Structure 1
Amino acid sequence: MTIKLAAIDIDNTLLTSAPARALTTQNLQAIQQVTQLGAKIVLCSARPLAGVKRYLSQASLSGDDQYVIVDNGALVQTVTGHTIGTQTLPAATVVKLVELCQQNHWHYNAIDDSSTMCTTDTRLGFYTVQLAAKYQAPLEVLPNSAAFLERVFAKFDITEAPELLDHIEPKIQELCGTDYYVVRSRPFLLEVLNRDANKGRALTNLAAQLGLKKNEIMAIGDEVNDLPMFAAAGIGVAMGNAVPAVKEAADFITTDNDHSGVGYAIHKFMLDL
């Protein structure tokens, strides 16, 4: 087995489509088989750790020698919550983004290093609440923008209807794009992160800590925020339901997320050799 670590996106990759968002039996069995052989399965997500824990439990990934890449690469943690790598946002930047969103009446939140979603937006927009439920993360309304200075934040999210976010995204790219990593990870979700925070950089840093080479890594994903993982891996696998840019960048296209594409790729590159 030449691939020793599989970095796997969660939503619309490891999990089936909404509303079920389930871990299929085939995916689960493949993960358990490959981990029993000593390989690492690293779940990589825009979610915070709180939104990943249930899938770690289902896949029997536990202990301080198993890892996750969360908040789109801002944090590398053990599955027990010990942080081993960070690329967080300066608090002053978060405050500026908060004030910009307040001025424009955009719904937003910032996720701190303990998975809490923070906002001053008492309106609590639909997509913000939906995201908190999906992440299984606490949602805290802070009294004012100054309160953000007391936290450490992994990322800043603007959550709006896709057609509105289409107009917001170019403005945020122009404002932040050269100094920060700005990525549209879902049609309704625009994220601002530390310039050095992405799944690929986090994966490269984790691999270095584990003593793994690029050709010993496989990355599986479906969205543009997964592309940096492909650059960090020897094999990039696009889901059958991936967006066109991800398919074009992939070394292999597996079946879609509703037909256990992750399990198929694990068998092809890690088990059935």
Structure 2
Amino acid sequence: MTRIALVVSDVDGTLLTKDKILTEDAKAAVHGLHEAGIGFTVVSSRPTIGMGFLVAPLAITQPIGAFNGSSIVDPQLKPLEQHLIPAATAKRSVDLLRDYGVDIWLFTNDRWLTRNPDGEYTAHEQHTIKHDPTIVPDFAPYLDQACKIVGASSDAALLQRCEKEMQQVVGHDAIAVRSQTYYLDVTPPGHDKGTFVAAIAKRLGVALENVATIGDMQNDLPMFAKSGVSFAMGNASDDVKARATNVTESNANDGFARAMETVLQFR
């Protein structure tokens, strides 16, 4: 395997367990990267407000990617580069999600907005991002501030159908892809986890062939395509595994840490 100079990791389903725990093995693996002089950062579909808890335990000093990489923030979560969904596209997205009957969330840079405080995944998201939602009667006043719009539903088949229709509805004006089987994310056009990887590699002067990425979902595929080495988690679907250069253990078995052991063998 090529010598790795930078690792970029997904968060949920990859760095964290199903219960959103950062294990001691994962922490130790990242500190091993630091000791070996290998850069490390994270990129996630999470909002900016849901990333800060990782900075201190992982000693992250590089910029972080939020909203699937469409926002880049420093380790203090101050925006370095931020993009928004066009307001008209945000409205079309909200309207389609409403038609499908799924819960709708709208994220600005610093707030999580919902019309339904008792939504199916609201408590789960509160636990995940360690932040409470702001309840609003209408999304209309915020459509020009949307960093991400999410449709949430436990009906995976319905959300998959919605994903396909959403991609047609937004066209080139946004990116629509599931970050979990139960979350459909709509994010700004032209920016994804792959563009984030390219931006960070350029910032550090690292060739893309010397970058390793690791993830578990379809929204991780753009960064797999950009990096010289990629790891799919054992809990990833077969189509995601097929697009990675390596497959590690699941996030229930510290697959992230096992993948970093492989990276460190080629330092």
Please report the TM-score for the alignment, with normalisation by the length of structure 2: 0.89
1:99 Cα offset (Å) = 4.0
Partner of residue 166, structure 2:
172
Aligned counterparts of 1:256 and 1:100: Cα–Cα separation in 2 = 34
2:121–2:152 contact (8 Å) kept in structure 1: yes
CA deviation after TM superposition for structure 1 residue 153, in Å? 2.1
Counterpart of 1:2 in structure 2 is 3
Query: How far 1:124 moved relative to its partner?
Result: 4.0
Where do 5+ consecutive residues of structure 2 fail to align? Answer: none
What does 1:214-229 align with in structure 2 at a 5 Å threshold? 214-229=208-223
**Counterpart in the other structure of 2:55:** 56
User: Which string of whole-angstrom CA distances, capped at 9 and with x for unpartnered residues, describes residues 220-249 of structure 1?
Assistant: 111111100111111011112221112111
How far the C-alpha of 1:100 sits from its partner, in A, is: 4.2
Distance 1:53 1:236, change over 3 A: same
Equivalent position to 1:269, from 259, 263, 266: 263
Q: Does 1:125 align with 2:119?
A: yes
SS of alignment partner, residue 16 of structure 1: coil
Look up the match of 2:190. 196
Give me the whole-angstrom Cα distance separating, in 1, the residues matched to 2:178 and 2:150.
Answer: 10
1:145 matched residue in structure 2: 139
User: Are residues 90 and 129 of structure 1, via their aligned partners in 2, closer, same or farther at CA, if it must alter by over 3 Å?
Assistant: farther
**1:89 corresponds to 2:82:** no
Match of 2:104 among 79, 100, 108: 108
For residue 13 of structure 1, give the secondary structure of its aligned residue in structure 2: coil
Change (3 A) 1:144 1:27: closer
* Separation in 1, partners of 2:195, 2:99: 33
Q: CA RMSD in A?
A: 2.2
Distance 2:74 2:99 in 1: 38
SS in 2 for 1:12: coil
- Kindly state the Cα deviation for residue 77 of structure 1 after the two structures are TM-superposed: 1.2
The equivalent of 1:155 in structure 2 is: 148
Distance 1:262-1:105 versus aligned 2 partners, 3 A rule? closer
Q: How far apart, CA to CA, are the structure 1 residues paired with 2:185 and 2:257?
A: 29
> What is the Cα deviation at residue 217 of structure 1?
0.6
Q: How big is the shift at 1:15?
A: 1.5
Distance 1:160 1:28, change over 3 A: same
TM-score by length of 1: 0.88
What are the within-5 Å matches in structure 2 for residues 7-22 of structure 1? 7-17=8-18, 19=19, 21-22=20-21
Q: Which residue of 2 aligns with 1:70?
A: 66
Aligned to 1:30: 29
User: Which residue identity lines up with residue 14 of structure 2 in the other structure?
Assistant: T
| Aligned mates of 2:7, 2:189 — CA distance in 1 | 24
Compared CA separation, residues 14 and 179, structure 1 to 2 (3 A): same
What is the number of equivalent residue pairs in this alignment? 265
**CA deviations over 1:50-87 (Å, ceiling 9, x no partner):** 222222222232xxx42211111111111211222223
Contact 1:184 1:225 in 2 (8 A): yes
Residue 239 of structure 2 is matched in structure 1 by: 245
How many angstroms does 1:182 deviate by? 0.8
1:144 and 1:266 map into 2 onto residues whose CA distance is 45
Counterpart residue identity of residue 239, structure 1: M
The answer on whether the counterparts of 1:95 and 1:148 sit within 8 Å (CA) in structure 2 is no
Measured in 2, the distance between the counterparts of 1:26 and 1:102 equals 41
